[in-house]
């Protein structure tokens, strides 16, 4: 079974600085999808960014970018110019075509003013 690991239960970053959240996964498949979701305190979980494994180019969404290393099965999220509103739980997720999502345990990010 596929598993997703987020080795950092908690992280903190100074406002305006850059932070990288780690995610590794275990799979024997070659075509799959990876996602980062953000869950702000007491608010709805929303999609931050997604990556298709067949694409070599790393996905980018404004201040959010990923470092996708397929051979290493690594999918880290980089947040540039951190803002107070970035404070949240971040979940990494893996999805195989036609299968359900597999979520990691989450990383709680604090942003310090």
Partner 1 sequence: DVKVTQSSRYLVKRTGEKVFLECVQDMDHENMFWYRQDPGLGLRLIYFSYDVKMKEKGDIPEGYSVSREKKERFSLILESASTNQTSMYLCASSALVNSGGRGNQPQHFGDGTRLSIL
Interface with partner 1 by CB under 8 A: which range of 11-19, 22-30, 72-80, 94-102?
94-102
What is the nearest approach in angstroms of partner 1 to the Cβ of residue 17?
A: 26
From 14-22, 61-69, 71-79, 104-112, span contacting partner 1 (CB under 8 A): 104-112
Lookup: tokens for 37: 């979701």
The residues near 49 (Cβ < 8 Å, ≥ 6 apart) are: 35, 36, 59, 60, 61, 64, 65, 66, 77
Given candidates 2, 9, 27, 82, which one binds partner 1 under the rule CB under 8 A?
A: 9
Angstrom CA distances, 25 to 12, 14, 22, 35, stand at 23, 28, 10, 12
Q: Which residues make beta-bridge pairs with 75?
A: 68
What x-and-dash track marks residues 46-85 binding partner 1 by CB under 8 A? xx--x-x---------------------------------
Site track 14-33 with partner 1 (rule: CB under 8 A), x = hit:
-------------------x
Helix (H, G, I), strand (E, B) or coil at 86: helix
> How far is C-alpha 79 from the chain's CA centre?
10
Nearer to partner 1, 47 or 84 (CB): 47
Q: Indicate the residue among 30 and 113 with the shorter CB distance to partner 1.
A: 30
């Amino acid at each position: 079974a596929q598993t997703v690991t987020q080795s950092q239960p908690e992280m903190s970053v100074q406002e305006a600085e850059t932070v990288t959240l780690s995610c590794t996964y275990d799979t024997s498949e070659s075509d799959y999808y990876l996602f980062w979701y953000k869950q702000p305190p007491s608010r709805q979980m929303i999609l931050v960014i997604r990556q298709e494994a067949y694409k070599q180019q790393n996905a980018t969404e404004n201040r959010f970018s990923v470092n996708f290393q397929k051979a290493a099965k690594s999918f880290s999220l980089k947040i540039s110019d951190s803002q107070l509103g970035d404070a949240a739980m971040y979940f990494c997720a893996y999805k195989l075509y036609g299968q359900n999502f597999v979520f990691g345990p989450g990383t709680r990010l604090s942003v310090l003013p």
